[in-house]
Structure 1
């Protein structure tokens, strides 16, 4: 059984050809943060400096983002941001799925590198968010380190924020690189192996 991957296009910085991590993008001077939730959700609180273009109107309001070089989309759980990203890509506009508003807010304040270590023997974890509805876990792997085979009881989204990992599921091996995302299916065993020297991915799932 094959599982689809949504590959986020890498946006090149004006002054360098090196891909930035998600945290670097969010904190860059040229970032355009776009909250794609409803106006009511946006009014309840959003990331600092974010504008509101709800998913429902993105297909007509996408022109607001023409010419922007560093667009980060987010919503409540990441699904609406992924749909908005697809709409923008259909108009040749690159964007990155920053997942949830809490995750973007957190990355505006905290550098995950200070919370994690890169062991070649075992994963390092940090709870980015552990709320009533959503749990987000950042996981770091050194080269060859393995997050052993396990399952999730609810749908989950994985996004690589640094490095590269091998994702093994149902006898299939998938290479996920920086800013690639993967929708993890329920109740199917999978494991993750670090490829680079320093690798970080974030798993977001509901409760």
Structure 2
């Protein structure tokens, strides 16, 4: 069955003034989340207690922790450490996958 989640987020980006977050797939031990960020939007500081990979599939974002910033472009990925406060800022309209578990 075809899933339109990412296309739905792309269509919502131009008029959004906050992150768009939707679960793409959820299993017993894992979850894949789609994160849409319009240019200039920040996913505010938070932390996770689940091992998570951030994968940029379109755009350009900056992953920020207290003492480091990492620029990620399309097809770049990053392991997000657990229990570390971080945020994600979009330099251009971006779509990311958060793969947890």
Q: TM-score, structure 2 length as denominator? A: 0.88
> 2:50 is matched with which residue?
154
> 1:70 is matched with which residue?
none
- 8 Å Cα contact 2:6/2:34 also seen in 1: no
Specify which of 81, 85, 89 is matched with residue 189 of structure 1.
85
> 1:110 is matched with which residue?
3
Displacement after TM superposition at 1:111 (Å): 4.4
Higher relative contact order (CA 8 A, sep 6+): 2
> 2:98 is matched with which residue?
203
Q: Distance in 1 between matches of 2:65 and 2:16?
A: 21
Task: Count how many residue pairs are aligned between Structure 1 and Structure 2.
Answer: 98
Q: Which of the two has greater helix per residue?
A: 1
- Structure with greater Cα Rg: 1
User: What is the alpha-carbon root mean square deviation over aligned residues?
Assistant: 1.6
- 8 Å Cα contact 1:121/1:146 also seen in 2: no
- Unaligned stretches of 5+ in structure 2? none
Displacement after TM superposition at 1:171 (Å): 2.4
Specify which of 55, 61, 70 is matched with residue 174 of structure 1.
70
Displacement after TM superposition at 1:202 (Å): 0.5
